[in-house]
Each structure stands twice: as C-alpha cells, then as structure tokens.
C-alpha cells in the first residue's frame, strides 16, 4: 500500500443517519461530508454528537481508525465498507437479509450464486458496491455486467465511473484512477496499490468493466489475456421477455450457456464468481431453474422475515423495516388483495409465484358485497346460515419447541345462502391450539348470526371439540345444533368440491376486508415450494358444501332455555287432595 492519504478516520459520524442525501458540490468525497455521514479526518472540526443507535459493528463509536485499519475492516465487513466509502448510496439501515447476501457474495467457495430478491430490495445497489469492493481490493480484473438491455447495464457501469470520478476519498485510499477506454459500455480503472517495482514505483494494474444486454456478444470475452472473473446477471427477466416458454428458454440457454462458460476457470481464478440477481417471473424461468441446479447456491429474500413470511398478513413483519415499515407493507398487501392483484404483489414483493394455470380458482370468480359494493348485505333473517370450524389439535413437543412455526390456523367461518348466492358473512382465525379462544369466538359468532348448524369433523381431536362445545352450551344454557361430519375426502377435494361450483358461477360473495381468505383462494393449491396455509379456505368450503345439501326441517334458531322457562307460570304444589 502507498502512504495513507488520510491519517485516521473518526467512526462516530458513521452513526448519524440523514434520510436525504446532500447534493454533491464539486468532487464527492473531496473532504468530510457531514450531511452524508461521511468519515471525519482527524484534526478537523467534528460535528456535535447526535444520539442514535449504532449502525455498525464497532464497540466504541468514537473510535479512530487508521486508513490501513479501515481498509482491513472493510475487507471482512461489507456493511462497513459500503457505508464508509459510499455514504450517499447507503444512507439507510440495511435490510435484515443483507448480511446474509453479503456472506454469499464474499464467500470464495460459492462460484455460482443465484439470489432472488423482492422488488426494490437493493439487489442492484448491493452488487454495484460488491463490484467496487472487488475492484478496490484487486480481486477482479475483468467484470461483466449483463442486464435486460445494454442501457440498463450501462447504468451500473456509470455508477462505478461516478465513484472513480467524484469520490476522492475512495479513489485515493485504494489508489484508483481513470484509464482508457472510459466509455459508457467499457471502462478501464487503473489500480496503483497492488504491486510495486523494485525501485518502489507502483505497477499499474488495469481492471476492465463492460456492460452488455442479455443478447449482446459476450462469447469469447478476453481482455489483456484475462477472461471475466465476475459476471453479474442483474434482472434480465421482465414481463416482455419472459411471457412465453420460447422466450424463457432463450434467456436460460443464453445465460447458462455462452455467458456462464465465459467465466474464468477456477484453476486460474479461484475467486471467480457468477451472480444471478432476479425477481422471479415464472416457475420455469432462469432463477427458478437455477434453484434446481446443483452448481448454484440459491437464496430467496422477500419483503417479509423468514419467521413470518407464511403467517397471516396481520402477523407478518417487514424484512426491511427501515425502508418499509411492517404496517405500511401489510396495508399494501391488503390493498393488492382487495384489487384482485395479489398475484403481482406476491411475485414482486414476496418472491412467490402465483400462476393462474396452476390454481384451482380464478380471482375474477370472486364477487364482493357489503357497504360500498354493488351487492348489499343480504337480509339477516331471510338467510340460511351455517358455521364451519376447522380446528387445530394440541401441538406436539417439537411444535412447541419451534414456537408453532409450522402450526395451522384454527378457522371459524360463517356462511349464509340467499337467493342462490353464498356470502362469507364472517371469518375469524387464530394460530395454534386454544380451546378457550375457540369457545369464546364460537358463542360471539353464533349469537351474532344464529346459524342452523355448526359443522365440526369427528376425526380425532375434532370429535373432542364437538364435545367441548356441547359442554360449553350447557353451561351457558344457549344451544345450536352441532352437526358432526365424517368426511374421508382429502383436503384438496373437500375445498374444490365445496367452492368450485358456486365460485365459477359467480355465486360466491366475500368482503374486501377478508384478505386472508382472498389470498388463499387466489393461491390454492399453487406450486410455491414454501406452501401456504389454507385453513380459512377449508372452513368456508365446508360451510358452503353443507348449504349446498339443503335442509329438510325449517330454519332453526338458537335456544335459550332460561327465556323459555320464564314464559311459564310457576306451579303451586298444594299436596294431595
């Protein structure tokens, strides 16, 4: 390394966060940029301390590091490297999954990496900084950027150009300068700190970065006897080029053929790496096929945390809370479901695919009722109403240890039939086994809607639930008919048989607020490998199926024994005559 340009760096300023970056004046990084949380040089006036939670793995926020120490720390900590040298780009707290992404990228053992990231998950930004890191530490000699078009690829190359041209601190710390060519599609960066001649003068190492569209002429790329040692395939799929199987196959053959084979061999470049970064478009697209390829290490990062991604919407937590608070993200998902656009949200934000051909139902089959809808509330006292309960048995010891991570939801559905239409009047669910909750909600819903029957299965614990409800009715002295169901059909047939007919004929009505049911209806059964809960769907299907059978007796009502007793006068017993 040459003599440090900066004696030391004060890390305390790195803990200040400014949500809006300042506009560059002159050269970016020419001096301390306090508004952008840039490093402060020792000896210069430092800003007043701002109380904030530490953002970096530094035990003492006021610690001063020498330039050499900062460079060494950046080599092993990508979050530190990014925020130290590119504060205007990395001006927010990182996503919870970014450290895991960094680990995959920094690992020399992972030669082929396939990462699926939600839209606006900073995948392009992270890879730009990763390229800059490999350039700064002299790991790469030839870098290829492949995007859906050459114009898109040029944007990433232009970001690197901008850092060399304006980020003086980064440029001088690592001994980088402009080389030739220096165009939109091909730049050469001179690195002066990697080697030195016997007389101490630096040996200039040339690092080339090239931009290509996915259909560009990449085959045989070899610049100054160096084949590409980093190939970044960034979002090469979109709605236009992945609409048909022929288009998808063309992209896969291109990327996994000519482009993949352009990567420098491990024997020559042990750190060579090819990275696929995409938001999935189809179950047979490039990123999905790479997930099945044993050569690739794959990871998927959606907008929800791994712990909550398969839970009900109200329990899901954002995987990037600094950028997308959970409350806002949940509202966005519920709005998408209400607009019948959940498939798009699932693909773009959750990295989950919902394809109409693979689903039992169509979103356009659903109709909406209630306030503000064309279909009003059905008259409460003219409907045939049935409740169905899809219960959850007590958890096993393993499930308890996992905190119910894979536990089903207990769902209670109240469905009414009026004029040949079926209305999902109310649906409530709860995760896990809680008999007290079930009994409480059972009474609340029954009092509200007065169902003719409450349908409960008679298999294992479900038979016990029917007994618990009967005992609870005896205590409360209010009664509704419990109809025990012994259904041997599997879940798929039960759901499809119950809902397909009415829904396909436009006879199924739901409320826009019933997003859990709508999401499950849209996705079922789906091909997503993570799977989805379908308990709300099953409970509603059972209720609709029971209403479809019809009734022999007149519409029943709940029975209040205490009220009936009060209708009769007390008999006076006067003894025998």
pLDDT at 54 over 50: no
Do residues 200 and 222 share a domain? Answer: yes
What domain range is 71 assigned to?
Answer: 1-89
Can you tell me the distance from the alpha carbon of 229 to that of 220, in angstroms, rounded to the nearest whole number? 13
Looking at residue 520, which CATH number applies to its domain? 3.30.420.240
Residues 6 or more apart whose CB falls under 8 angstroms from that of 373 comprise 512
Residues 6 or more apart whose CB falls under 8 angstroms from that of 253 comprise none
**Interval 269-287: pLDDT, tens:** 999 999 999 888 887 788 8
**Interval 244-261: pLDDT, tens:** 788 888 888 889 888 998
Residues 6 or more apart whose CB falls under 8 angstroms from that of 495 comprise 360, 524, 534, 537, 538, 541
Do residues 184 and 277 share a domain? Answer: yes
Kindly state whether residue 554 falls inside one of the protein's structural domains: yes
Kindly state whether residue 571 falls inside one of the protein's structural domains: no
Number of structural domains (the chain) is 4
Per-residue confidence (pLDDT) for residue 467, from 0 to 100: 83
Burial 112-140 (b: 16+ CB within 10 A, else e): bbbbbbbeebbbbbbbbbbbbbbbbbebb
Do residues 394 and 541 share a domain? Answer: yes
The mean-pLDDT minimum among 106-115, 129-138, 210-219, 393-402 falls in 393-402
Do residues 209 and 323 share a domain? Answer: no
Q: 4 pLDDT band (50/70/90 cuts)?
A: very low
Per-residue confidence (pLDDT) for residue 490, from 0 to 100: 82
Percentage of the chain surpassing pLDDT 90?
A: 46
Tell me the β-bridge partners of 296: 112
**Interval 102-129: pLDDT, tens:** 999 999 999 999 999 999 999 999 999 9
Q: 462 pLDDT band (50/70/90 cuts)?
A: low
- Give the CA distances from residue 567 to residues 71, 77, 561, in Å, rounded to whole numbers and listed in that order: 89, 80, 10
Q: Mean of the per-residue pLDDT values for the chain?
A: 81
Can you tell me the distance from the alpha carbon of 437 to that of 388, in angstroms, rounded to the nearest whole number? 16
Do residues 208 and 171 share a domain? Answer: yes
Do residues 270 and 343 share a domain? Answer: no
**Interval 186-215: pLDDT, tens:** 999 999 988 888 887 888 999 999 999 888
In this structure, what are the phi and psi dihedrals at residue 175, rounded to the nearest 5 degrees?
70, 45
Kindly state whether residue 306 falls inside one of the protein's structural domains: no
pLDDT at 60 over 60: no
Do residues 296 and 320 share a domain? Answer: no
Can you tell me the distance from the alpha carbon of 519 to that of 341, in angstroms, rounded to the nearest whole number? 10
**Interval 156-187: pLDDT, tens:** 999 999 999 999 999 999 999 999 999 999 99
Do residues 398 and 535 share a domain? Answer: yes
């Amino acid at each position: 390394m040459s003599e440090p340009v900066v004696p030391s760096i004060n890390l305390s300023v790195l803990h200040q966060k400014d949500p809006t970056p300042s506009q560059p004046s002159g050269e970016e990084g020419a001096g301390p940029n306090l508004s952008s949380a840039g490093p402060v040089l020792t000896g210069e006036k430092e800003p007043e301390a701002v109380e904030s939670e530490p953002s970096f793995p530094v035990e003492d926020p006021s610690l001063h590091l020498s330039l050499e120490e900062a460079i060494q720390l950046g080599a092993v900590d990508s979050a530190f490297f990014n925020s130290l040298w590119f504060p205007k780009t990395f001006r927010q707290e990182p996503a919870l999954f970014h450290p895991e992404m960094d680990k995959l990228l920094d690992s020399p053992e992972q030669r082929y990496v396939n990462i699926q990231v939600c839209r606006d998950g900073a995948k392009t930004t992270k890879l730009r900084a990763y390229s800059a890191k490999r350039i700064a530490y002299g790991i790469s000699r030839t870098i290829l950027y492949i995007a859906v078009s050459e114009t898109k690829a040029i944007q990433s190359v232009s970001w690197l150009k901008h850092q060399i041209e304006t980020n003086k601190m980064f440029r001088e710390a690592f001994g980088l300068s402009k080389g030739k060519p220096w165009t939109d599609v091909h730049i050469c960066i001179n690195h002066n700190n990697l080697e030195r001649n016997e007389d101490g003068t630096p040996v200039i190492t040339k690092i080339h970065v090239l931009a290509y569209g996915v259909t560009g002429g990449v085959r045989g790329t070899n610049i100054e006897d160096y084949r590409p040692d980093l190939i970044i395939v960034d979002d090469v799929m979109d709605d236009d080029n992945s609409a048909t199987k022929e288009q998808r196959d063309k992209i896969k053959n291109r990327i996994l053929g000519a482009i993949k084979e352009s990567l420098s061999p491990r024997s020559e470049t042990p750190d060579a790496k090819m990275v696929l970064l995409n938001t999935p478009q189809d179950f047979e697209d490039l990123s999905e096929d790479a997930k099945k390829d044993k050569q690739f290490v794959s990871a998927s990062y959606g907008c929800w945390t791994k712990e909550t991604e398969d839970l009900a919407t109200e329990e899901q937590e954002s995987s990037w809370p600094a950028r997308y608070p959970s409350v806002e993200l949940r509202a966005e998902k519920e709005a998408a479901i209400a607009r019948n656009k959940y498939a798009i949200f699932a693909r773009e934000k959750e990295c989950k695919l919902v394809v109409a051909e693979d689903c039992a139902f169509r979103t356009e089959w659903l109709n909406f009722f209630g306030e503000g809808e064309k279909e009003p509330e059905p008259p409460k006292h003219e409907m045939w109403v049935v409740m169905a309960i899809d219960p959850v048995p007590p958890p096993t010891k393993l499930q308890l240890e996992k905190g119910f991570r894979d536990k089903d939801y207990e769902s209670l559905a109240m469905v009414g039939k009026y004029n040949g239409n079926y209305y999902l009047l109310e649906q409530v669910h709860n995760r896990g086994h809680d008999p007290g909750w079930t009994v409480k909600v059972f009474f609340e819903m029954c009092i509200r809607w007065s169902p003719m029957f409450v349908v409960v299965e008679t298999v294992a614990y479900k038979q016990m639930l029917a007994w618990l409800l009967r005992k609870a009715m005896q205590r409360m002295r209010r009664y509704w008919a419990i109809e025990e169901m012994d259904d041997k059909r599997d879940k798929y047939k039960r759901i499809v048989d119950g809902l397909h007919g009415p829904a396909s004929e436009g006879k199924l009505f739901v409320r826009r607020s019933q997003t859990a049911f709508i999401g499950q209806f849209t996705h079922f059964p789906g091909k997503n490998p993570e799977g989805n809960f379908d308990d709300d769907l099953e409970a509603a299907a059972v209720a609709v199926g029971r209403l479809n059978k019809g009734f022999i007796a007149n519409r029943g009502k709940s029975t209040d024994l205490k009220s009936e007793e009060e209708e009769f006068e007390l008999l006076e017993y006067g003894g025998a005559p």
